[in-house]
Structures are given as C-alpha cells and as structure tokens.
Amino acid sequence: MRLNLRVWRQKNGGSEGAMATYAVDGISPDMSFLEMLDTLNEDLILRGEDPVAFDHDCREGICGACSLVINGDAHGPERTTTCQLHMRSFRDGDTIDVEPWRASAFPVVKDLVVDRSAFDRVIQAGGYITATTGSAPEAHATPVPKADADSAFEHAECIGCGACVAACPNGSAMLFTSAKINHLNVLPQGSPERETRVLDMVAQMDAEGFGGCTLTGECATACPKGIPLPSIAAMNREWLRARRKVKG
C-alpha cells in the first residue's frame, strides 16, 4: 500500500506546530498503525530527518500509552487502541491525518506525544482505597455480590489512555474520572471513603482544566475499553449524594 500521511510536527511544548506531509510506500495491510509509523521513522532517520515522536509501549492494547487522533478519531476508525489498529482498515492511496490528543490539560510534549500527568493527579486525589500493606482482613471476610464485582471490573478496565478527553468536543475527563469512582465506590471495601473520593477527584479534575461535560457521548464512543456513558450519570449521582451527606 502507498499512503499519504499528514502528521502533526511540533518540536517541543514551547514551539509552534504544523502538519507535515509524508509519503510512505510498501505498507502491508497486516502492519499495525504503529508499525507503519515505525517504517516512516526508519526512513526519516536514514534521510537525516527527525523521526516522528509518539507514545507507545505494550502494543497489545492494555498499557494505554498510544494516543493518536487519526482522521479526527481518537485511536482511529476502529473501536480499539491505536496499537491494535491495522492498516487493512485503510485503502491504498488514502491520505491519513495524524494528530496528538488535544486538550489544555494534556499539553503537547513533542509531535504526537502529550503529557497526561493530569490523570495521575486525579487518581492521587482519591482514586484508591486506603489499605496499608499487611492490614488486610482475610479475602473472604467480605463477600461481594457478583453483580457488584462485575460492575467494578467493567469500570476498572479503563486504561487511562485519554481517548475520552481527546474525543470530547469540550476536552472533558468525566468518563475517566467516573470509571475509577464507579470501580471503587461500588465495592464494600471502597465504601468508607465513598464521599471524599468522589468530591476530591471531581475537584481535582476541575482544577486540571478539563472541560465541562455536555453529555455528547463522544467519550464512550471513542473508549477502546467500552466504559459506558451511564458511568457519568452514576458519578453525578455519587457526587450529589456525597454533597448532601457531607453538608448534612
């Protein structure tokens, strides 16, 4: 396959960026999207040019490092991570636009690499259960209804890639934040910190400069792990409940 790539190039966080055009040839439909970029980079290095920087690590769709907006879609046209997107999803001769996640809370580091440490700080604000090592009771001391365990798992699947923020027209991080809150708040182990968790995490999310939610649903459509949109309503419910309890 022969493709025409238009890639966002930006030297570093402080400089201006622009789209640059590259032609790549000899692309196999079996290549992953990132392997196609590897091919481009090998070529650029030999030509004495700066290769395109992009985040990637496990290439199995679980670490959440890869983060490209491809033709306007976070992670591209398939519902998966960029690393699991294959070139057979494109046609010979296509022009493909590749851009970084865009959000003021995710400043560009270089080219397609952004700084997602805002997510870490949202978790640090309360996305945990306080259980110091060694203090745990026997695992079977508290049974957890299967439905609750399954619901917790469904939300815990979030890989923290940030596609929700990238896809949201408002750059909102509600889906990410709600996934962690719903994971922990549904479990009996998470209930002692239920109120502070949601209040503190939402406050941190707001402080990081993420946009407000207008329920466009773009986040859930882009999420490679299928975190469902009602997750946001559930977080709102938790937040309203916590406000009532903390005030009352």
Partner 1 sequence: MSYLDYVTGEPVADDKAPAGPVAERWDTRRFQAKLVNPANRRKHRIIVVGTGLAGGSAGATLAEQGYQVVQFCFQDSPRRAHSIAAQGGINAAKNYRNDGDSIHRLFYDTVKGGDFRARESNVHRLAQISVEIIDQCVAQGVPFAREYGGLLDTRSFGGVQVSRTFYARGQTGQQLLLGAYQALSRQIAAGNVEMHARTEMLDLIVVDGRARGIVARDLITGEISTHYADAVVLASGGYGNVFYLSTNAMNSNATAVWRAHRRGAYFANPCFTQIHPTCIPRTGDHQSKLTLMSESLRNDGRIWVPKAQGDTRPAADIPEDERDYYLERIYPSFGNLVPRDIASRAAKNVCDEGRGVGPGGQGVYLDFADAIRRMGRKAVEEKYGNLFDMYERITAENPYEVPMRIYPAVHYTMGGLWVDYDLQTTIPGLFAIGEANFSDHGANRLGASALMQGLADGYFVLPATINDYLARHPHGEPVTDDHPAVQDVLAETEDRLHLLLSVDGDRTPDSFHRELGELMWEYCGMARTEEGLTKALRRIPEIREEFWRRIKVPGTGQEFNQSLEKANRIVDYLELAELMCLDALHRAESCGGHFREESQTPDGEAARRDEEFAYAAAWEFRGSGGRPPGVHGTPDGAAPVLHKEDLTFEYVHPTQRSYA
Partner 2 sequence: MAVSGLIMLGYLVAHVAGNLKVFFGPEEFNAYGHWLRVMGAPVLHHHWALWIVRIVLLAVVVAHAVSAYQLSRRDLKARPTAYVHRRKRASYATRTMRWGGIILGLFIVWHLLDLTTGTLHPGGFEEGKPYQNVVDTFSTWYGNVVYIVAMLALGLHVRHGFWSAAQTLGVGNARRERLLKLLANTLALVLTAGFVSVPVAVMTGVVS
Helix (H) or strand (E) holding 17: strand 17-24
In the complex, minimum distance from the CB of residue 230 to partner 2, in angstroms, rounded to a whole number = 5
Size of the chain in residues:
248
Q: Which of 172, 177, 185, 204 binds partner 2 (CB under 8 A)?
A: 172
Of 167-175, 185-193, 214-222, 228-236, the window that binds partner 1 (rule: CB under 8 A) is 185-193
In whole angstroms, give the CA distance from residue 3 to residue 88.
12
Decide: residue 228, CB within 10 A, 0-12 exposed, 13-18 middle, 19+ buried.
middle
In the complex, minimum distance from the CB of residue 65 to partner 2, in angstroms, rounded to a whole number = 21
Q: Which residues contact 62 (CB under 8 A, 6 or more apart)?
A: 159
Binders of partner 1 among residues 200 to 219 (CB under 8 A) are none
In whole angstroms, give the CA distance from residue 225 to residue 155.
9
Task: Please report whether residue 228 would count as binding partner 2 according to CB under 8 A.
Answer: yes
In the complex, minimum distance from the CB of residue 154 to partner 1, in angstroms, rounded to a whole number = 9
Task: Please report whether residue 217 would count as binding partner 2 according to CB under 8 A.
Answer: yes
Binding partner of residue 194 among partner 1, partner 2, none, CB under 5 to 8 Å per kind?
Answer: none
CA-CA-CA-CA torsion sign (39, 77, 231, 200) = positive
- Counting residues that bind partner 1 (by CB under 8 A) gives 78
For 172-209, the three-class secondary structure string (H helix, E strand, C coil) is CCHHHHHHHHHHHHCCHHHHHHHHHHHHHHHHHHHHCC
> Cβ closer to partner 2: 131 or 153?
153
Binding mask 54-73 for partner 2 (x = CB under 8 A): ---------------x-xxx
Task: Please report whether residue 123 would count as binding partner 1 according to CB under 8 A.
Answer: yes
Residue holding tokens 């940030």?
Answer: 162
Binders of partner 1 among residues 82 to 101 (CB under 8 A) are 84, 86, 88
Binders of partner 1 among residues 216 to 235 (CB under 8 A) are none
CA 145 to chain centre: 29
Binders of partner 1 among residues 125 to 164 (CB under 8 A) are 125, 127-140, 142-146, 149-150, 152-153, 156-157, 159-160
In whole angstroms, give the CA distance from residue 156 to residue 79.
18
In the complex, minimum distance from the CB of residue 218 to partner 1, in angstroms, rounded to a whole number = 23
Checking 134-139 for CB contacts under 8 A at 24+ apart, the result is none
Note the residues at the interface with partner 2 (CB under 8 A): 6, 8, 19, 69, 71-73, 97, 99, 102-105, 167, 169-172, 209-218, 228-230, 232-241
